[in-house]
Chain A
Amino acid sequence: MSAPARPTTPAATAPAGGSSAVPGSRRSRGRAPLRAVPALAVLVVLALVPYFVGPDETDILSRVLIFGLFAVSLDLLVGITGLPSLGHAAYFGVGAYTAGLVAEHWTPNAPVPVLVAAGAGAVAAVLTGWLVVRSDGVFFLMLTLAIGEITSQLALQLDDVTGGSDGLFGIPTFRIGGEPLRLEGYRYWYVLAVFVITFAAVWLISRSPFGLALRGIRDNEDRMRSLGYSPFRYKYVAYVLAGAFAGIAGGLFAQFNRIVNPSDAGFALSAITLLALVLGGAGSLWGPVIGMAVVVVVRDYYGPDLGGHGPLVLGIVFVIAVYVLPRGFAGLAGLGALRGRRRGAVSAHATDPDDPGSGAVPGTSSEERPA
């Protein structure tokens, strides 16, 4: 188990007294219906938003959800499984190009392009994953980086199919029952629906026995192996699932943005999403969405007002956040729980810096040392 693969937010290891086997979890499980209330409230607010904001803001929110979904798919890898990928945009790009081609040449009717994009993302992850999940730590980072760059170069070179550096443009927008979704609000609701379904799927996976095994592998791979689990098989499946979910996000992006460029599969998107994960709190699933929202709003909404210097603000946000929010936005929720009552693993982790599970071990373990 390598340090880079360690969870960045212990608060997320067992979010809000989740189903992990720590004292107190039994008690908080009884409150599951109560804890669903904030989630439902957020959902209602999200559904009603188009009535209260302008079309531009609605479009930005759609972008937040699309890239937020991508961040969630990456969180399944990074936060839950402990595999920090620098090339996850490859599967986003594969999904985006696939959905774009499907919408252009076959049907733009929902949900066909997004479903095919999910399949394409999964296939791409099947082909590449068997190789990359064998490595760990920095080397996993670099292999995934190579895969991301090769994918982006492929998109550039196969210009008969992908349009090369001009990108794939003129992609038809979403259609439902043959009717194109011309209004920003309708498009937003479609994106929201796909987001909610996919988010729920990732959430269920992360809570399932399979998801718990993934967390176990993240925290102590040797121990899981000695318990009879095959870390390779679990990591591989997680990698393929993450690829499929990234494909869904890419598929939404293609029909929403209506143009796909090679850079949509490239290093910049992978890196910025990985940082949005750290900013939001990896492993919590919802934290990365907030982290990504900050990135998208600063870059795409305020960016033009800042004379194209949105990245400057992002840089400052990253530098401040790394000191002020050591566990990301998700860590703030952990603090709230701590102040309220010491319940479950959240407070136990948050208060105990010596707990190995809190990621408070030195930046590198034995990883980079020769035996």
Chain B
Amino acid sequence: MADWFSENLVSILNGFAIGSLLFILAVGLSIVFGMMGVLNLAHGAFYLVGTYLAYSLLDDGVTWGGFLGALALAAVFGLVAGGALSVMTEPLAKRPILDQALLTLGVSLIVAEVLSIIYGNDVYSVAPPPGLDDRVDVGDGSLPVYRLALIGIGLVLALIVYLVVEKTSVGALVRASVADREMVSAMGIDNRKVKVAVLGIGSALAMVAGVLGTPVYGVDPGLDESVLLLALIVVVIGGLGSVKGALIGALVIGQVDSLGRALLPELASFILFGALAVVLIVRPRGLFGPRKVAS
């Protein structure tokens, strides 16, 4: 057991790093989805914007100033983009969910194509900021320090999101909106404003995840789709509208992806979707989703 652990420690830590990134990416999607029923298919495109932001600011040499600047810009851009998307979905609020999917997928296609017009279709890699670009020995292998840092960043962000959602009055509003939107609006709260805020923050987190993920996954025009699929899997496994679910889902998927690739390389590509199918068969509403649905 100890041998196995030390052999696979790299994969396990790597899985936690991927899980942290996935949590940052997926938590906004989950709350927006659970709360407002907005299936934001542009979430992956927002991640892509983050990676190109990082690329633009860090292409001439990676500095802490550039990295933090990219993070700050990503947060601002994300807030604006998410707010704008929220306003755009408002006229569709009473229409079927597929109409919103049509809108957000349209936005996603436009964003991805505009990025490809500006930056071309080449794949780039970007180094982590100075000091985090070394590797450290863990167990029988070595891991980039940046991935360990990513675990820390993910845990801090998870803690912040958890405290905000569970312990503050704003968070109570968000949870109440997830549970019963009509009741919240009947109590005199304009849930359109709540939606603008939540979609804005969720999109900001997606773009921040894009910047944070660039040293890991690089810059690739096809990332928007693969990242969106991953985030959707996390959200569904964890259950809609649950912060805890998004965290557990992200960690599970991080481990499944990383350990799966290390232990069963020939099955790696099935494992993610296999895990999704298994969870949905055993717990049709996700691990932390609503137990029983009133009909």
Contacts and interface: CB of A to CB of B under 8 A. Distances in A.
Nearest to A148: B273
Given A139-B285, A267-B229, A371-B293, A147 B277 contact: yes
Contact of B91 (A3, A138, A149, A323): A323
Interface string A152-167: 0110110000000000
A316 B295 contact: no
Contacts of B232: 142, 145
Interface string A110-134: 0000000000000000000001001
A312 B112 CA distance: 8
B102 A3 contact: no
A275 interface: yes
Interface string B189-206: 000000000000000000
B66 interface: no
Interface stretch (A22-30, A181-189, A358-366): A358-366
A4 B277 contact: no
Given A6-B96, A311-B112, A363-B100, A368 B34 contact: yes
Interface stretch (B68-76, B113-121, B147-155): B113-121
A32 interface: no
A271 to B, nearest CB: 7
A7 B290 CA distance: 24
A50 interface: no
A312 B110 contact: yes
A363 B106 contact: no
Given A142-B236, A149-B229, A362-B94, A311 B293 contact: no
B166 interface: no
| Chain A interface residue bracket vs B | 35 or more
A341 interface: no
Contacts of A230: none
A332 interface: no
Contacts of B98: 4, 8, 78, 84, 274, 278, 282
A360 B294 CA distance: 20
A368 B35 CA distance: 8
A60 interface: no
Given A312-B113, A326-B95, A366 B293 contact: yes
A333 interface: no
B292 interface: yes
A275 B101 contact: yes
Given A4-B97, A371-B292, A275 B225 contact: no
A125 to B, nearest CB: 16
Interface in A312-328: 312, 314-319, 321-323, 326
B225 A362 contact: no
Contact of A367 (B96, B277, B281, B293): B293
B94 A361 contact: yes
B276 interface: yes
A370 interface: yes
Contacts of B285: 139
A139 B284 contact: yes
A363 B97 contact: yes
Interface of B: 33-34, 36-39, 41, 91-103, 105-110, 112-114, 116-117, 178-182, 225, 229, 232-233, 236, 240-241, 266, 269-270, 272-274, 276-277, 280-281, 284-285, 290-295
Given A138-B33, A271-B41, 12 more contacts: A135-B280, A145-B229, A146-B273, A153-B273, A157-B270, A268-B225, A279-B102, A322-B102, A359-B95, A362-B37, A363-B92, A369-B179
6 contacts: A131-B277, A143-B280, A146-B280, A322-B92, A362-B181, A364-B37
